[in-house]
Structure 1
Amino acid sequence: MAGIKDVAARAGVSVATVSRVLNDHSGVREETRTRVLAAVSELSYRPNTLARSLRTDQTRTLGLVISDVLNPFFTELARAVEDEARARGYSVIIGNADEQLTLQDHHVRTLLDRRIDGLLVSPADGDSLALREAALAGIPMVFVDRWIAGLDVPLVRADGRSAVRELVAHLYALGHRKLAIITGPVASTTSNERLAAFRGALAEHGLPLPDHYIGQGDFQTASGRRVTESFFTLPEPPDAVFATDNLMALGVMEQVRTLGLRVPDDVSLAAFDDIPWFLHTDPPITAIAQPTQQLGHRAVAALTDLVERRSPLGAPPGPRPGEKSGGGSAGSVTLSAHLIARRSCGEDERTRR
């Protein structure tokens, strides 16, 4: 197996020059870089990443802990993270928390034991001792989509509040006045934000949000079914339901059919987090879409910036044109979600196009 000295000899340069080329350092002439890379290819040279990590104290590996790998939003997010990390020369190890705090913290500690360079996390419901310890220890870390209130960690997320307002206006224009919501776990930051936005948007139209129109879910399909069943035991069931997660929306649709009802004839349905399935349900489901690929790419960019600056407490890159800063920690980036109107809420000009 060829070594770095063999590459240097073939290219007619020093070992130090080969190292600079392989680590993409500036100050190497293009002709020299081309010669070195040609020698690498001819000799099928592969750097010893373990030895390099011992020398540089970097493993070129990132950890990603997501809340639920079966949720299509997180599946797409993980794919975007892997694509961007690979483009930047990093590998990714993924841990699935399955919406369980104890499992999440197990993954966090396991990843840190494996000497990852940085950590991306979409936290499960509740406080996390492992994440607080990691933040206090100066581990390069970025939250994605969800966050832990009071923890000074950069956050890359999509703000759906304006899209929720647009959704309520859309439902109001279609004649709906009894609007209900299915929330996520009690301590979920995203769920609480969506509930607050929904309540505020209803107030703008002079509509109340009584307690019996707030259903407690857990971002799982079964909770969507359970809450929907409870809604239809009310003397006045809602005429529209907003599920704050895509899986709960599928549960709503399943239970509506089980009850012998139809969407949108008997109740309209909208969801937060658009997924490809929503185009193929009958009827297609109105949804608020997040820029999931951009979230993954920007999160990796923020984390690798922290890692490569070797300054865990430094801020990730500022927002690009068209983005705005947001969240608690310096350098956090907030993108925008948008409403996609489909036939599950009834028809207007947008759904007919």
Structure 2
Amino acid sequence: MARIKDVAVRAGVSVATVSRVLNANPSVSEETRNRVYAAMTELNYVPNAVARSLRTEATRTLGLIIGDILNPFFAELARAVEDTARKAGYTVVIGNADERAEEQDHYVRTLIEQRVDGLLICPTAEVTPLVEQAAATGDPLVFIDRVLPGMDVPSVRVDGTAAIGELVGHLKRLGHRRVALISGPLRLSTGRERTDAFVKAVAEHGMELRPEYIQSGDFQLASGRALSARLLDLPEPPEVIFGGDNLMTLGALDEIRARGLRIPEDVALASFDDVPWFPHMNPPITAISQPVAELGARAVRVILDRLHGRPAGSVVLPAVLVPRQSCGEGRNVS
């Protein structure tokens, strides 16, 4: 593990200068300060005193690092975390990792330096050095929404397996046989879990699963539209497009409407993740709803249990299917 003198050597300054940077001494020039921070980043250095502050010097603040602040799911999640923390007397500092490992580690470092009492992280796909170090040193840390393999960290997440199974069964009862999935990134636990659940459900219901009917997106609107175009251009396009999150579903909706196709008569549409405007669209969008408010509230309770030395196990919440009209509900089943 890097030491303060290693940072000094890498930055070409004295140990005293590194110490002044860590203590925000105004006598240090901006150029020197940037050089020291760059060296800390390269060496994955976390000051020992700052790391210890997570366990010993309560500041009544929590850090929350989310995947994408523009995604309505994460906006609602952040609101739930903030509301619950405030009632418990804590302030939440939010960092947007923008689904990038380097941004995630930037916020881990920054929040530790600001002496937050605990960290709630929606992790990127990678086990990054600072997250690994925080977990190894026993700092109060909880994963939210996603998990990382091989890490012994409490997590609070949603399991959509049963709801996806219900959706596939629902589509079969409506007469659909060709169902496509635009999945999230398979490097993320949520992308893998939803894809695995979909493949399993299609097999259990005896429906054909063509390889080209599974397309991997990135949880962004543009990929939802581009992959929907690819699906609709197939010689035998799917009867249903199932978006792996709300933004990719909206991208699919844009592509369907741009082609002048009707929902559900020409192609049906369903979403993993519900949003407040889905019930008000024409037609209303069938969705798998996650208990986002409860997800955020439970995550705060788990991190507070860790801070107060109480048992803090992982929590798994169920998702729920919300049938609406976008898949042909109410039509005659052939």
Which interval holds the TM-score relative to the shorter structure? Answer: 0.7 to 0.9
* 2:318 counterpart of 1:345: no
For residues 112 and 209 of structure 1, what CA distance do their matches in structure 2 show? 47
Which residue in 2 is equivalent to 1:305?
Answer: 305
Count of matched residue pairs: 279
Equivalent residue letter for 1:344: S
Gaps of 5+ in 2: 1-52
Which residue in 2 is equivalent to 1:63?
Answer: 63
For residues 222 and 89 of structure 1, what CA distance do their matches in structure 2 show? 40
Structure 1 residue 186: deviation in Å?
2.4
Instruction: Give the alignment of 1:237-252 within 5 angstroms.
Output: 237-252=237-252
8 A contact 1:154–1:315 mirrored in 2:
no
Structure 1 residue 145: deviation in Å?
0.9
For residues 194 and 149 of structure 2, what CA distance do their matches in structure 1 show? 15
| 1:37-77 deviation line (CA, Å, top 9, x unaligned) | xxxxxxxxxxxxxxxx99x6111110000001111111111
Which residue in 2 is equivalent to 1:206?
Answer: 206
Which residue in 2 is equivalent to 1:135?
Answer: 135
For residues 226 and 245 of structure 2, what CA distance do their matches in structure 1 show? 15
Which residue in 1 is equivalent to 2:113?
Answer: 113
Structure ID, larger Rg: 1
Which residue in 2 is equivalent to 1:285?
Answer: 285
For residues 322 and 167 of structure 2, what CA distance do their matches in structure 1 show? 9
Equivalent residue letter for 1:187: R
**Shift in CA distance, 124/277, structure 1 to aligned 2, threshold 3 Å:** farther
SS of the residue 1:203 aligns to: helix
8 A contact 2:177–2:208 mirrored in 1:
no
Which residue in 2 is equivalent to 1:275?
Answer: 275
For residues 174 and 150 of structure 1, what CA distance do their matches in structure 2 show? 41
For residues 259 and 311 of structure 2, what CA distance do their matches in structure 1 show? 52
Instruction: Give the alignment of 1:1-353 within 5 angstroms.
Output: 57-309=57-309, 315-316=311-312, 331-348=313-330
Structure 1 residue 129: deviation in Å?
2.3
Q: Does 204-213 or 148-157 show the bigger shift?
A: 204-213
Following superposition, which runs of at least 4 residues in structure 1 exceed 6 angstroms of deviation? none
Structure 1 residue 123: deviation in Å?
1.3
Equivalent residue letter for 1:185: P
Structure 1 residue 208: deviation in Å?
2.8
8 A contact 1:286–1:345 mirrored in 2:
yes
Q: Does 75-84 or 130-139 show the bigger shift?
A: 130-139
For residues 213 and 145 of structure 1, what CA distance do their matches in structure 2 show? 26
Identity of aligned residues (%): 55
Which residue in 2 is equivalent to 1:30?
Answer: none
| 1:233-282 deviation line (CA, Å, top 9, x unaligned) | 11100000111100000000000111121211111111111110211222
Equivalent residue letter for 1:213: Y
CA RMSD of aligned residues (A): 1.7
